[in-house]
């Protein structure tokens, strides 16, 4: 990336107009920069020793596979010739001579056959690196490729063919391991795609059934899902009842009963029953496919630690070149040291200074964390939001559907002023007939129980933070909070004792009236989640200092709920703009503020927080698009897991950075005293690269446990192969 930033950045008006997806080998030229033809972009990339083509997902995947095979072939050839050369040396000198080849340099001339074998190992090991190194030298912009080629060339100059071959082979092996690890992380994301079967059993108009590619099924087509099958497409159940395991999307393994009218999602697993389903989305736009796209694109939004590593590597490499020159020149000039001895030590420094492990470990860690969270029903929209949850100090959340179950029910009905209970429910149901709000669903359910199936009110309109009003039965009617009743001058008709009893119980009071009369009051009660108190306690234990409830409900109800679960602060009777103001206060006094909402009504407040978390985003396009992080279920228990997952990811990244830098520091010190060898330096570097990659891939195994306690639009897209796959 550093190379491409230096070459293309000035041409497009600055590096900020370029976006990189290391895992997928994709560079995006944003439309915020200067216009440039695709041909010129490809030509400039070619000047760096890399190749490029316009982005196409299928051809890019094939290219990545071909590149890995090419690396594998050249690495195997280099290793093979190295092994044969070393074997020849053992035959010629015996085991004592074999040990001696590791012990020093320049002691004896090497037989021609052995030299040719090691030279072949050098050629194959350096073949894919040399063009990039030459490009780096021409631009006077040293990078790790140039460091290795200079080290290899210097060793050949000294007659150290064995050490030159060892450096070339191990460096080639290191690059192959990096590409393999990137591919492993990429495959973890691609594995999500395999959750949905490639075909669907479609029911034709004449009643016959036929297996059809899922991509060819159109919206409205009917298909059959047999017991035990994975569901191929999002759809609506038309016939049949069955339990469906939604774990691939939500991370929750408990089956959810599906019956006619319910939604089902691609990639989920049908239970014992057979379902007839109507496709509601094409295969390219299912919930699962959107998750896959978002996870695949998320790495382009890099975490702060990734940006730090990239900047560090950019400064670090030239410094190493200067140090190497100093080690080669100063001891002979100032202390009369042997030129070949200190030139060799300078080459050793170049080898150990190669930042392979440092550069690759962070992006692999981030992508592994993104893929793991997606498998656990938590969709993180970018590398920056992997890092943020672990630093959360304040958390704001709504009451309904987070602390409470989100399925309120009508606890009691209180007609007033001579209104009958059926009339009160009829007016309330008419006003809520077109609403999907949880309170509306509760009122409509109670009306059906009472046998009321009336018409919807006319000219209905929602008054934000207040309620709804319209016309029904030839008169103006309204429904809403006691504050709405007060604004209409009808709050005096609310019995004080009734109001205090409802609010004191933590229930929600809904007043219903017409233009001149208060018709009655409905008491709606939403059960507090059984695990809410434990979840809040775990969040506090994780270092979230302030947890604030932001709700449009009345003060007494909100405080009753907050007191029961241990929430620190309550802001009640809030309009959407009031929630934004409350978030701004938190942002001003806390380092990292998260807002949990439904992704739609709370969008302004979520946008103002440092990052937003959408609850229950499965099936909700708006929730997935709005939030920085989307919980695919309405289980707030995922939030403590998310914080723990974030901290584990950052801890692994810090481990990798520390191990890489510590290893290099040790060898730099040994080199300064002439105690390090070139083959030892490259072996250590490859070993550390392998260790940090394996450490990063451990994140793929991170499991959620339902909150159980645990520690600009692109103007054009161009694929840059080669160095992009190596994290440069």
Domain 389-404+530-627's class?
Answer: alpha beta
Confidence of residue 301 (pLDDT cuts 50, 70, 90): low
SS3 label, residue 415: strand
Task: Quote the pLDDT of residue 720.
Answer: 39
How far apart (Å, rounded) are the C-alpha atoms in residues 485 and 490?
Answer: 5
Class of domain 409-525: alpha beta
Question: pTM here?
Answer: 0.68
Q: Which CATH architecture has domain 197-285?
A: Distorted Sandwich (2.70)
Q: Which among 494, 455, 496, 462 is positioned nearest to 479, based on CA atoms?
A: 462
Q: What is the pLDDT of residue 725?
A: 34
The domain spans of the chain are 197-285, 389-404+530-627, 409-525
pLDDT at 592 (0 to 100): 94
CA distances from 278 to 86, 196, 245 (A): 67, 16, 19
What's the whole-number average pLDDT of the chain? Answer: 81
Residue 690, judged by CB atoms within 10 A of its CB (0-12, 13-18, 19+), counts as middle
Q: What is the pLDDT of residue 234?
A: 92
Judge whether residue 488 has pLDDT over 60: yes
pLDDT for position 254: 65
Question: Which range, 354-358, 369-373, 426-430, 551-555, is most confident?
Answer: 426-430
Q: Which pLDDT does position 726 carry in this prediction?
A: 34
Q: Among 69-83, 203-217, 538-552, 602-616, which is the least confidently predicted range? A: 602-616
Each residue's pLDDT tens digit, 709-722:
333 333 334 333 33
**In the prediction, which pLDDT does 336 show?**
80
- The string of pLDDT tens digits covering residues 432-451 is 988 877 788 889 999 999 99
Considering only residues 293 and 640, tell me which one the structure prediction assigns the higher pLDDT. Answer: 640
- What average pLDDT score do residues 683-711 get? 70
pLDDT given at position 97: 64
| Residue in 21, 143, 234, 398 annotated catalytic | 398
- Cβ atoms of 423 and 519 closer than 8 Å: yes
**Residue 398: active-site member:** yes
State the pLDDT at residue 600.
59
Is the pLDDT at 400 greater than 60, yes or no?
yes
CA dist., res. 484 & res. 554, Å (int): 11
pLDDT of residue 599: 55
| Sign, CA torsion 419/420/421/426 | negative
> Is residue 106's pLDDT more than 50?
no
Provide, for the chain, the percentages of residues in helix, strand and coil under a 3-state DSSP scheme, each rounded to the nearest 5.
Answer: 55, 15, 30
Tell me the pLDDT band of 474, cut-offs 50, 70 and 90.
Answer: confident
């Amino acid at each position: 990336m550093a190379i491409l930033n230096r070459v293309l950045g000035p041409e497009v008006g600055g590096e900020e107009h370029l976006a990189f997806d290391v895992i997928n080998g994709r560079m995006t030229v944003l439309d915020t920069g200067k216009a440039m033809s695709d041909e010129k972009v490809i030509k400039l990339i070619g000047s760096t020793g890399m190749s490029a083509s316009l982005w196409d997902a299928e051809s890019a995947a094939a290219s990545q596979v071909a590149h890995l095979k090419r690396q594998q072939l050249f690495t195997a050839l280099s290793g093979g010739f190295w092994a044969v050369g070393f074997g020849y040396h053992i035959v010629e000198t015996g085991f004592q001579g074999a040990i001696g080849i590791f012990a020093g340099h320049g002691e004896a001339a090497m037989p021609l056959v052995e030299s040719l074998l090691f030279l072949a190992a050098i050629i194959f090991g350096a073949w894919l690196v040399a063009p990039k190194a030459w490009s780096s030298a021409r631009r006077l912009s040293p990078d790790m490729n140039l460091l290795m080629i200079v080290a290899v060339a210097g060793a050949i100059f000294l007659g150290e063919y064995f050490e030159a071959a060892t450096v070339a082979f191990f460096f080639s092996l290191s690059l192959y391991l990096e590409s393999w690890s990137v591919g492993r992380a990429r495959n973890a994301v691609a594995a999500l795609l395999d959750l949905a079967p490639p075909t669907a059993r479609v029911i034709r108009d004449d009643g016959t059934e036929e297996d059809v590619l899922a991509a060819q099924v159109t919206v409205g087509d009917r298909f059959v899902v047999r017991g035990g099958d994975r569901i191929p497409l999002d759809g609506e159940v038309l016939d049949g009842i069955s339990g469906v395991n939604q774990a691939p999307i939500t991370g929750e393994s408990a089956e959810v009963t599906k019956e006619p009218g319910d939604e089902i999602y691609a990639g989920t697993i049908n239970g014992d029953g057979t379902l007839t389903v109507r496709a509601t989305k094409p295969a390219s736009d299912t919930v699962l496919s959107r998750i896959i796209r978002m996870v695949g694109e998320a790495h382009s939004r890099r975490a702060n630690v990734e940006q730090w590593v990239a900047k560090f590597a950019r400064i670090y490499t030239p410094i190493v070149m200067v140090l190497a020159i100093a080690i080669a020149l100063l001891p002979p000039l100032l202390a009369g040291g042997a030129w070949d001895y200190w030139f060799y030590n300078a080459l050793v420094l170049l080898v150990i200074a190669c930042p392979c492990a440092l550069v690759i470990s962070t992006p692999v860690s981030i992508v592994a964390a993104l893929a793991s969270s997606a498998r656990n029903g938590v969709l993180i929209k970018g590398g920056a939001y992997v890092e943020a949850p672990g630093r959360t100090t304040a958390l704001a959340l709504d009451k309904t559907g987070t602390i409470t179950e989100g399925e309120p029910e009508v606890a009691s009905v209180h007609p007033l002023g001579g209104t009958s209970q059926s009339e009160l429910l009829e007016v309330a149901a008419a006003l809520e007939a077109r609403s999907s709000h949880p309170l509306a669903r509760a009122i409509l359910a109670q009306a059906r129980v009472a046998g009321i199936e009336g018409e919807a009110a006319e000219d209905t309109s929602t008054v934000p933070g207040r309620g709804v009003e319209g016309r029904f039965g030839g008169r103006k009617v309204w429904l809403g909070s006691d504050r709405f009743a007060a604004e209409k001058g009808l709050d005096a008709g609310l019995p004080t004792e009734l109001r205090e009893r409802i609010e004191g119980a933590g229930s929600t009071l809904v007043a219903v009236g017409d233009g001149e009369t208060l018709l009655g009051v409905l008491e709606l009660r939403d059960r507090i989640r059984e695990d809410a108190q434990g979840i809040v306690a775990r969040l506090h234990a994780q270092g979230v200092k302030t947890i604030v409830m932001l709700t449009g409900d009345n003060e007494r109800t909100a405080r009753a709920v907050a007191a029961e679960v241990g929430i620190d602060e309550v802001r009640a009777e809030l309009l959407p703009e009031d929630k934004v103001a409350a978030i701004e206060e938190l942002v001003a006094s806390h380092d990292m503020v998260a807002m949990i909402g439904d992704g739609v009504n709370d969008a302004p407040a979520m946008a103002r927080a440092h990052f937003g978390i959408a609850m229950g985003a499965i099936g909700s396009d708006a929730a997935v698009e709005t939030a920085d992080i989307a919980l695919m279920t309405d289980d707030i228990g995922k939030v403590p897991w998310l914080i723990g997952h974030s901290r584990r990811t950052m801890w692994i990244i810090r481990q990798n950075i520390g191990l890489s830098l510590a290893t290099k520091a040790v060898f730099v010190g040994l080199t300064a005293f002439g105690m390090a060898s070139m083959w030892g330096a490259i072996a250590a570097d490859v070993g550390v690269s392998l260790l940090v990659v394996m450490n990063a891939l451990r994140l793929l195994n991170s499991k959620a446990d339902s909150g159980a306690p645990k520690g600009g639009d692109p103007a054009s897209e161009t694929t840059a192969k080669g160095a992009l796959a190596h994290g440069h």
